[in-house]
Chains A and B, each alone.
Chain A
Amino acid sequence: MSAPGLAALTPADLAAARAAHPGAFGDPRRRAMVWGGWGLALAYLTLSLWWFDIGKLFAASDRVWSLLAAFFVWEDMANWQYRQIYVGIAQTLAMAFLGTLLASVAALFIGFLGARNTMPVSVMRHAVRRILDVLRGVDQLIWALVFVRAVGLGPLAGVLAIFISDTGTLGKLYAEAIENIDRRQVEGVRSTGASPIKVVRYGYLPQVLPVFISQSLYFFESAARSATILGIVGAGGIGMILIERFRANLYDQVAFVVLNVLVCIYLIDWMSRKIRERVIGEVGR
């Protein structure tokens, strides 16, 4: 069968083909809806950019360039207070470590209270879950702001902010890990007449501990990232130094600090991947 050229097609042929294969020609209504959707999105984008005063970006282009240049031209490096900068970075890492550790310990208990198979009282379980939702629903930076008001400027507020928001997430993840375990090991331990504490120790923990450790390591990485900005609201760490340099227009030092932080975060990611591979036998991410 030879295919006729496109010119040989008559409108009647087209109509017949359209009737025979309605799917092949596309639905004009559907196409109109798709194009309408894109049109609406474009209209919204234009309108909102106009509303947000996009012109300011172009009006400020001189400032943009001079500021960008200030990031890359490093002056007076001998007088930068390196000690202060590195203490700040160490403080950030310490905040992340302590916050995640405390959150993991808290989540260990809360996880058992929030899992269906270990907490038969459903009212209690739902109460625990809803509290975790609230802890998680408020952003870490907001917690930091609240704790700075409550306990004053400094790393304590940062540790507490990481602790509270990570407890919300880790508690939920731990509870889910506990719900997903193999029941047979627990029943085996229980059938030997072990006490409830021993059932948890030998029935549950060996199954969930690798998951717990792996998740806590992920959260340590993420906390190290977020702890760098907690200082912007005064909760200790490198962020406080960063915003102070900003206010003093020392943009070259800001760039230096950001570079150092990025290197540290990269190192932490690498180390935590190594630990996961060694201890838990996870390969890759």
Chain B
Amino acid sequence: MAMDPVAGDALALFETHRADLLRARRTQTMMFAGGFLLALGLSIWVSQFYPGKLGPGVPRIFEYLATITPDLRLDVLFAGRDAAGDAVPGSLTYWYVDLPKYLGLLAETVAMAATATMLGAVVAFALSFPAARNLAPNRWLFVASRRLLELFRGIPEILIALILVFMVGIGPLAGVLAIALHTAGALGKLFAEVNENASLRPVEGIRGVGGDWFDEMRYGVVPQVIPNFISYTLLRFEINVRASSIVGFVGAGGIGQELYHVISFYSDDRVLAVLILIVAMVTVIDLISERFRIRFIGREAFV
């Protein structure tokens, strides 16, 4: 009778089912493990990452770290310049003898990041309304602005900087434009997402009193989204400070140009001097910008 199966049958059924499940799971695991090992083997082969090469390579890293470490001597660490106006070897003054030049370049780096962030944010702002699904005046404009933003952020900024250096010549302008383009793409996407989450009721209100599309955006959407926009822009500024410190590697201005020069031609304690300054600059900018972000969003939250 079907209603009264023998106990052994149920057990056998359970066991076979369980075995099937286990087998399926084991096959899946084996497949992933096999794929993983295959990828690992291929990677090692393609990139020639053999222990034989790594062995002599690792000590060389430490040798290099030793060459970029300055010979600071404790007794003269804070010594200024001597009577002849020369810095004492082993003092901080001697290590950072080019400090005024570095500081100028750091200022240029931050200025590049600020200008690029502003330019990019303006473009992103303009494109974020047609690129928001619920606000776009028509489908073609929506698709076109979405694709344009994807194009802007799809190509790494240092690559755009390389192209622009060939177009407008060596100097910070290429870096500013490259970072601005990338920023427009990255911020435009975030802005568009903020716009898509905005309430449509104010928009309908503006439309009800006879506003056109620009009025709807200006008075219906912008007041809702501006705090988020500013917060994202500040966050992007932090990222752009990092970016503008490396676009110099391809000749696009900022402290990166000096770092590249120092690493390529000298490889002595100046490398570490510039590196420390870059890390310090990035950290300080992050702290300041974070404070602003919290204050701005915090104040807006109360209104």
Contacts and interface: CB of A to CB of B under 8 A. Distances in A.
B177 A57 contact: yes
Contacts of B176: 49, 52
Contact of B40 (A41, A101, A228): A101
Contacts of A141: 158, 246, 249
A101 to B, nearest CB: 7
The 4 closest A-B pairs by CB, nearest first: A94-B43, A150-B64, A155-B47, A151-B57
A33 to B, nearest CB: 12
Contact of B246 (A94, A142, A156): A142
Contacts of A158: 47
Contact of B249 (A150, A151, A233, A236): A233
Contacts of B278: 138, 142
B112 interface: yes
11 contacts: A54-B173, A56-B168, A57-B173, A67-B167, A139-B246, A146-B263, A151-B60, A155-B47, A156-B47, A236-B47, A279-B32
B64 A146 contact: yes
Residue among B64, B166, B242 with max Cβ neighbours from chain A (10 Å): B166
Interface of B: 32, 39-40, 42-49, 53-54, 57, 60-61, 63-65, 111-112, 114-115, 118-119, 154-156, 158-159, 162-163, 166-169, 171-173, 176-177, 242, 245-246, 249-250, 253, 259-260, 263, 267, 271, 275, 278-279, 282-283
Given A149-B263, A151-B60, A279-B32, A60 B167 contact: yes
Nearest to A96: B43
A63 B118 contact: no
A11 to B, nearest CB: 26
A229 B169 CA distance: 20
A109 B158 CA distance: 33
A64 interface: yes
Contacts of B39: 97
B279 to A, nearest CB: 5
A86 to B, nearest CB: 11
A138 B154 contact: no
Given A141-B158, A225-B156, A60 B169 contact: yes
A110 interface: no
B123 to A, nearest CB: 13
B171 A52 contact: yes
Contact of A258 (B61, B155, B166, B275): B155
A51 B49 contact: no
A170 interface: no
A45 B279 contact: no
A151 B283 CA distance: 29
A228 B156 contact: yes
B260 to A, nearest CB: 7
B108 to A, nearest CB: 9
A57 B168 CA distance: 6
